[in-house]
Amino acid sequence: MKKAVVVLSGGLDSTVCMSVAKQDGYKIFPITFSYGQRHSREVEQAKKVAEFYRCNKHLILDIGFFREIGASALTSYNIDVPTDRSVEQMQEDIPVTYVPFRNAVFLSMAVGYAEAIQAEKIYIGVNALDYSGYPDCRPRFIQAFQEAVNLGTAASDKNMPIKIATPLISLTKGEIIKVGVKNGAPLHLTTSCYLGGEKACGKCDSCRLRLKGFREAGIQDPIEYEIKD
């Protein structure tokens, strides 16, 4: 069976992305990163998602140096996570929840893993339409990274190129949720909250965008919230 590596955070987008890889007929090899984020909840949820899909191997890598790098509200307790912001406010600038060049690091490790297991594709749930403003989620970044993969891997030299798949990149959050429901993705196991509590806060940018997406999709969000507007 053909193989695919899936970058799995335990969040909504990466879980739906994993469901797409499954629907595409791949044997899934998820890779999850403990990168020095504020909480471990997303890693724990990623484990549950991998178990749901009965993955034979779930690679979890500890790359906590992002906490040492800092400069992000997701890795530094010295920077507050924004709350109660409107979509318009989220669009004003690159948010403080951006982790410097994180997706490049994730993709680099995923490519190495794909080469090692002879996987032909890497799925990553980046999205350019959810107002996050993260520069490493833009289509042109993925295109540039794909070129680097083509130039820098033995797989390409052997005419077995590794393709980076971004099936959610141009979808709205509501459309992503509909894809997940259609594919039977375990949305009840996902977490999106930047604060990582037992219940989602409902106030951070990620929670607000998730709730907005479920409203647009006309579907009930299966996770619990402290506050739900």
The domain segmentation of the chain, as residue ranges, is 3-217
Per-residue pLDDT of the chain (229 residues; tens, 9 = 90+): 999 999 999 999 999 999 999 999 999 999 999 999 999 999 999 999 999 999 999 999 999 999 999 999 999 999 999 999 998 898 888 999 999 999 999 999 999 999 999 999 999 999 998 766 799 999 999 999 999 999 999 999 999 999 999 999 999 999 999 999 999 999 999 999 999 999 999 999 999 999 999 999 999 999 999 987 7
Would you say the C-alpha torsion 192, 195, 196, 201 has a positive or negative sign? negative
1 is in an annotated binding site: no
Q: Which two tokens stand for residue 31?
A: 């890779």
207 is in an annotated binding site: yes
- Candidates 65, 22, 64; CA nearest to 43 is 64
166 is in an annotated binding site: no
* Burial group, residue 15, by CB count within 10 angstroms (0-12, 13-18, 19+): buried
137 is in an annotated binding site: no
Give me the CATH topology for the region 3-217. Rossmann fold (3.40.50)
Amino acid at 120: E
pLDDT at 227: 87
How many angstroms separate the CA atoms of 130 and 2, rounded? 31
Would you say the C-alpha torsion 35, 40, 45, 47 has a positive or negative sign? positive
74 is in an annotated binding site: no
168 is in an annotated binding site: no
How many angstroms separate the CA atoms of 3 and 14, rounded? 17
202 is in an annotated binding site: no
Q: Which helix (H) or strand (E) holds 121?
A: strand 121-123
170 is in an annotated binding site: no
- Candidates 64, 63, 56; CA nearest to 117 is 56
CB atoms near residue 220 (< 10 Å): 7
Whole-number Cα distances in Å, 181 to 1, 9, 15, 92, 186? 25, 18, 11, 31, 8
- Whether the CB-CB separation of 202 and 208 falls below 8 Å is answered with yes
CB atoms near residue 188 (< 10 Å): 10
8 is in an annotated binding site: yes
14 is in an annotated binding site: yes
55 is in an annotated binding site: no
Pure H helices in the chain = 12-23, 41-52, 65-69, 87-90, 102-117, 139-152, 154-157, 173-183, 205-217
State the pTM of this model.
0.97
- Candidates 62, 32, 56; CA nearest to 45 is 32
